[in-house]
């Protein structure tokens, strides 16, 4: 039989702590590294100005490992990064503890298309194409239009080339 004992520290001004949502900690998309980066970012004061290089060094991850975690956090909506040019390149970061799930903020999401089974679908498709062809108006003589002119087109005698 397994047993677990968790020894917690006191939560007071002598032992500062950070409250973090369990949604972040239990997000199955995030690796332990990504959760760790988010915990470190959220442990800062709300008005903290983030320096990505400093955060990378503080994390003790390799540059590649930190950048992969950072890109994934951006992809999952935990970090919003905005680049500005004045007079040199600078970044503005927004750290979001509980991002809105993709399915809730995607406005272009359409329900899956259900195509009903039709036994004579080939015949229906051919008939639809033939109906579209029969509704065309031709500009040259045809059996239905012996004059060869489109009744919807009026020749005013002017030319765009003169």
Output the tens digit of pLDDT for each of the chain's 162 residues: 899 998 888 888 888 888 899 999 999 999 999 999 999 999 998 889 999 999 999 999 999 999 999 999 999 999 999 988 878 888 899 999 998 765 554 445 555 555 666 665 555 555 555 565 555 555 555 555 555 555 555 555 555 554
Establish if 111 belongs to a structural domain.
no
Residue 68 lies in a domain: yes
77 lies in some domain: yes
Q: Assess whether 96 and 140 both reside in one domain.
A: no
Can you tell me which residue has the tokens 């917690």?
8
| Domain boundaries, position 91 | 22-100
70 and 137 fall within a common domain:
no
Do 91 and 128 share a domain, yes or no? Answer: no
Measured between alpha carbons, how far is residue 57 from residues 66, 71, 72, 73 in Å? 9, 17, 18, 18
Q: Does one domain contain both 28 and 81?
A: yes
pTM of the predicted model as reported, rounded to 2 decimal places:
0.58
**Number of domains forming the structure of the chain:** 2
Please report whether residue 73 resides in a domain: yes
In a domain, 30, yes or no: yes
2 within domain boundaries: no
* Counts for the chain of helices (H) and strands (E), in that order: 6, 2
């Amino acid at each position: 039989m397994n047993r677990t004992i968790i020894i917690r520290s006191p939560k007071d001004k002598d032992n500062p702590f950070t409250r973090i949502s369990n949604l972040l900690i239990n997000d199955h998309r995030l690796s332990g590294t990504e959760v760790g980066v988010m915990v470190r970012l959220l442990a800062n004061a709300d008005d903290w100005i983030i320096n990505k290089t400093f955060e990378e060094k503080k994390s003790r991850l390799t540059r590649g490992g930190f950048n992969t975690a950072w890109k994934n956090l951006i992809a999952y909506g935990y970090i919003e990064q905005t680049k500005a040019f004045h007079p040199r390149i600078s970044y503005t970061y927004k750290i979001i503890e509980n991002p809105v799930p993709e399915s809730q903020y995607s406005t272009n999401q359409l329900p899956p298309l259900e195509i009903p089974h039709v036994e004579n679908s080939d015949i229906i498709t051919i008939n639809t194409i033939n109906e579209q062809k029969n509704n065309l108006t031709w500009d040259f003589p045809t059996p239905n239009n012996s004059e060869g002119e489109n009744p919807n087109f009026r020749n005013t005698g002017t030319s765009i080339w003169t």
